[in-house]
Structure 1
Amino acid sequence: MAVAETRDGVLDVPIIDLTPFRTAGSDADRDAVARAVDHAARTVGFMQVVGHGIPVRTLDAFTAAMDAFFAQDLATKSAHRCPPGVNRGYTPPRSESLANSLGLVSAADLFEAFNVGAQAADFPGLNLSEEDYETNVWPDVPGFRPAVEAWFAAAGEVARTMTRVFGRALGLGEDHLTRFTGHSVDVLRMINYRLPSADADLEPDQVGMGAHTDYGIVTVLWADAVPGLEILDGDGRWHPVQPAPGALLVNLGDALARWTNDRWISTLHRVAAPRVDGRLVPRRSAAFFHDGDVDAVIAPLPTCVDAEHPALYEPVTVREHLHAKLAGSRGGVLTEGADREAARLSR
């Protein structure tokens, strides 16, 4: 099982400039970006991207919208709660456990969240199921929907750019992986680490968000410059990660790790209860998940399988994979078949 590597005990999350893929960059410049991404994907599974092209005003409007929603009282927010099987709407604090998606039992996570995503109506003529592409619910908060939709579009463009970079990095061509994403199951999760008080005592092993891998192809993450996010290395040590100013964090999901037959890493990570000088502090983040077409088959790519590297995974559809993972994190059903991911916690 591939795990994040350290050098002299230090975990490096490299900064990569996407500008050559957003402009008419030369083949040499694009190849340089692809090599940097391949190295990061092999060694840590995370990277920081700059040159992503998202205007500061788009981020400012988005974070203001998040703040306005989460500032409401719990009863008002809970009016937008959906059943566990519907990956939309509001999630109250301590109602999910991300470690369940690894088949592990853990304390409920501290965070609260609000999810929106791609809808069946966004792809007219494909007759997609609303069970896979659920309808969004929108709170009556002034400016919330347009600001969130603008960020959804902007983060989605970064995810699609990364998918083209991945294809080039794997030597398959920039369009190879995009054939799995024509009607991708994309979800934006806005997260607030709602904490009881700055000096509260937490339950044993209580974290902001439990240890997990992401489920799809790629995650594009914006986060406050506040401690919390941690990555697990091959020796079982957790390393804090904070994005550089203006950078977005990008990490690979299980689907891409499976497609590459673990050549690339879907890294275990968590969010510790955010603390500064020993006191709990507020923290926000927003994760855009680019998960692939619901009917796409996830199976090791032929270029990632040979006599020395036999296929490590049986084929599974994106639908089957996501349903199993979400039943764990949102539904409380311990996910089966996640042994390879979970084994890294016991190293």
Structure 2
Amino acid sequence: MKKVPTLDIRRYETDREAFVAELGAAYREFGFCCISGHGIPKEAIDGAYDAFKRFFALPDETKRKYHIPGGGGARGYTPFKVETAKDSKFADLKEFWHIGREIPRDSRFADVMPPNVWPAEVPDFKEKGYGIYEALDQLGARVLRALALHIDLPEHFFDDKIDSGNSILRPIHYPPIEQADVPNVRAGAHEDINFITLLVGASAEGLEVLTREGEWLPITTEGDAIVVNIGDMLQRLTNHVYPSTTHRVTNPQNDNARKPRYSVPFFLHPNPDVVLDVLPSCVTPDNPKRYPEPITAHEYLQQRLREIKLI
């Protein structure tokens, strides 16, 4: 049976050529790879999860104080059964919170990147949550350097395109599923919108990725590994050399269905004004240019948020 590989990112410093080749091959095949050796302390991850769990345990009316109507879920709290996978009839069985990048309010992106809100009831939520945001942001930049080298771009090609990226950390709570025949799933089959997604703590069952052969392949991580997958913006930029693969979170078929599931993806986005125009190095006679029209990252994001019913 095929398996999404786990690669140690420390090899980027010690065994660069082989690491970049293996990483590139994993992404071309699956659009997914598990990254170990990243150096984010377990205490930082566990501390963030603990703060997020305490928030989700609050009463519904308390959580809803942090729901921002008309905000498209960009910051703060989004209640249970709001987000719906594109083309799905049923809303996902989840509630979540969004932490965005802290930027100066006189930044040129201030109008499209609103300030964060923080729950007063969980005093360490900001410190723990934003700490893990920054750690994953830095790890994502390292992964993108290796991906750039694999497609013959300069190592730091992406650095100035993500330094003010509209990236989101999304703590998610999937409550226990009480009835057996519920038509909704925890997260319907979908692709991510952004450049890359880093998922920390994917040890619980449920995450599945659709292979090229059309089979659902389960992914669970071991040790410190973080799942990193390609999003649609990077797929578009690389003319599908790096595929954005369909994935879902299924409802467990055992007693775990009656347990809550938590997960914390970090959606690494480019700066809002980055133009997504196919890279010339990714156009070949076998892979002609698939997207004649360029679009900015911000316009693309708005288009997609409408499709998943967040705006």
- TM-score, structure 1 as length reference: 0.84
Q: Are the counterparts in 2 of residues 227 and 275 from structure 1 also a CA contact under 8 Å?
A: no
Q: Are the counterparts in 2 of residues 110 and 195 from structure 1 also a CA contact under 8 Å?
A: no
Q: In 2, distance between residues paired with 1:113 and 1:202?
A: 24
Match of 1:259 in 2: 237
Q: CA deviation at 1:56?
A: 1.2
Q: CA RMSD in A?
A: 1.8
Query: In 2 relative to 1, CA 133–71 (structure 1 residues): closer, same or farther, beyond 3 Å?
Result: same
2:189 to 179, 203, 211: 211
Match of 1:30 in 2: 16
Q: Does 1:272 align with 2:250?
A: yes
Match of 1:193 in 2: 174
2:82 to 79, 92, 95: 95
Please state whether the residue corresponding to 1:250 is helix, strand or coil.
strand
Q: In 2, distance between residues paired with 1:275 and 1:32?
A: 39
In the alignment, residue 107 of structure 1 is paired with which amino acid?
F
Q: Percent identity?
A: 33
Please state whether the residue corresponding to 1:185 is helix, strand or coil.
coil
Please state whether the residue corresponding to 2:307 is helix, strand or coil.
helix
Match of 2:301 in 1: 322
Q: Deviations over 1:178-232 (max 9, x none)?
A: 23213111100000101353xx23432x100111111111111013422111111
Please state whether the residue corresponding to 2:208 is helix, strand or coil.
strand
Q: Does 1:19 align with 2:2?
A: no
Query: In 2 relative to 1, CA 51–116 (structure 1 residues): closer, same or farther, beyond 3 Å?
Result: same
Q: Are the counterparts in 1 of residues 176 and 261 from structure 2 also a CA contact under 8 Å?
A: no
Query: In 2 relative to 1, CA 51–35 (structure 1 residues): closer, same or farther, beyond 3 Å?
Result: same
Q: Which runs of 5+ in 1 are unaligned?
A: 1-9, 333-347
Q: CA deviation at 1:244?
A: 1.6
Q: In 1, distance between residues paired with 2:302 and 2:275?
A: 14
Listed as ranges, the matches of 1:60-79 within 5 Å are: 60-79=46-65
Match of 1:248 in 2: 226
Q: Are the counterparts in 2 of residues 217 and 291 from structure 1 also a CA contact under 8 Å?
A: yes
Listed as ranges, the matches of 1:44-193 within 5 Å are: 44-83=30-69, 84-97=71-84, 99-100=85-86, 104-121=87-104, 126-130=107-111, 132-140=112-120, 141-193=122-174
- TM-score, structure 2 as length reference: 0.93
Count of aligned pairs? 308
Please state whether the residue corresponding to 1:292 is helix, strand or coil.
coil
Please state whether the residue corresponding to 2:171 is helix, strand or coil.
strand
Q: CA deviation at 1:277?
A: 4.6
Q: Deviations over 1:297-335 (max 9, x none)?
A: 111111111333211013111011111111222437xxx
Q: Which runs of 5+ in 2 are unaligned?
A: none
Please state whether the residue corresponding to 1:48 is helix, strand or coil.
strand
Match of 1:337 in 2: none
Q: CA deviation at 1:128?
A: 1.8
Q: In 2, distance between residues paired with 1:262 and 1:110?
A: 30
Q: Are the counterparts in 2 of residues 217 and 290 from structure 1 also a CA contact under 8 Å?
A: yes
Q: Are the counterparts in 1 of residues 176 and 257 from structure 2 also a CA contact under 8 Å?
A: no
Please state whether the residue corresponding to 2:104 is helix, strand or coil.
helix
